[in-house]
Amino acid sequence: MSLQSLPRPIIGPRSQKLALRIVSAIMGLLTTILGAVYGLSEYQLRRTYDVDLVALRADARAGRAEEGKRLSHMFGCAGCHQNAGNMLFEAPHVIRLVAPNLTRIVPEYTDAEFLRLIRTGVRRDGTGVMVMPSATFANMSDDDAASLLAYYRSVKPLPDAEPEGTQIHFIGRVVLALGKVPFAAKTAQPNLAPVHRPVATPEDEGAYIVKTVCSHCHNLTESHDDGWGMVTPPLAMMGQAYSNEDFHTLLRTGKAMGNREVGLMSDVARQDLSKMTDSEINAIHAYLNSVEMPE
């Protein structure tokens, strides 16, 4: 018997109805999942945070624009945002994360709104920002914040370098919906930053700089894993392994001991940390060498 002579299966009305019901159920389930992902991700993006505005203290020094320009590098603002916005990260079909144009945004903020933004990660409309290291900026003194404000308000607003801005695709929305994207506002701390930078001893100033700058990427006495594949060594252990001269070389040129390149650290040192003064680098080194490492 040939294959052509075999009887063909007949799909009857009952089977057709069952198939349609299965397809309809699958489509309904997919629609529900898509709706849930979109709804939960939108909730994360549009969620507002009830964080009080706190004004600059009255006895903070008037901000200095030139000092603010230097601090914009030291604190990493220029590194992430560049001159007029910058693409931080792009994963095709997942997310395109853009740091916005500060020359255009900061002049729209009051002093208190700017302080809340950098220290708690809450925008002027109450929504939260992604990724920004507000946990470290929470320690920034009013003097330094005032100088940053003075600088960005002195710069002529520039056209956005990345006009399309942040784009989040479906897989990125799934990650958002699951609460896996860090929003600084979720862990916002009370506004307890000092009015003036602590400078009573080099160790005091060094501790301040470590809290506000180095802690973006490093823990003090243990390794730090950012959850995105970057693991950095304990800062105190690293500082204690370097002579003061070698530590200056690292932060000025990005060259580690043995004239080595050390990835992102080398780039950040050359572009931004090199703007630190000699006394600031000395202070960091003095502080790190005062820290007792756990056994």
The b/e string for 171-210 (b: 16+ C-beta within 10 A; e otherwise) is ebbbbbbeeebbbbbeebeebebeeebeeeebbebbbbbb
Residue 244 has what pLDDT? 96
Whether the per-residue pLDDT at 289 is higher than 90: the answer is: yes
Sign of CA pseudo-dihedral 118, 142, 210, 103: positive
Q: What is the mean pLDDT of residues 203-214?
A: 96
Q: What is the residue type of 283?
A: A
Whether the per-residue pLDDT at 273 is higher than 80: the answer is: yes
CA–centroid distance for 136 within its chain? 10
Whether the per-residue pLDDT at 13 is higher than 80: the answer is: no
Over the stretch 29-85, which tens digit does the pLDDT of each residue have?
888 888 888 889 888 899 999 888 888 887 777 779 999 999 999 999 999 999 999
Instruction: Point out which residues pair with 260 in neighbouring strands.
Output: 256
Least confident piece of the model among 2-11, 69-78, 192-201: 2-11
Separation CA 178–CA 40 (nearest Å)? 8
Q: What is the mean pLDDT of residues 92-115?
A: 92
Domains and CATH numbers, the chain: 28-191 (1.10.760.10), 198-295 (1.10.760)
3-state secondary structure of 227: coil
208 near 144, Cβ under 8 Å? no
CA–centroid distance for 255 within its chain? 25
189 near 138, Cβ under 8 Å? yes
Residue 54 has what pLDDT? 87
CA–centroid distance for 181 within its chain? 11
3-state secondary structure of 178: coil
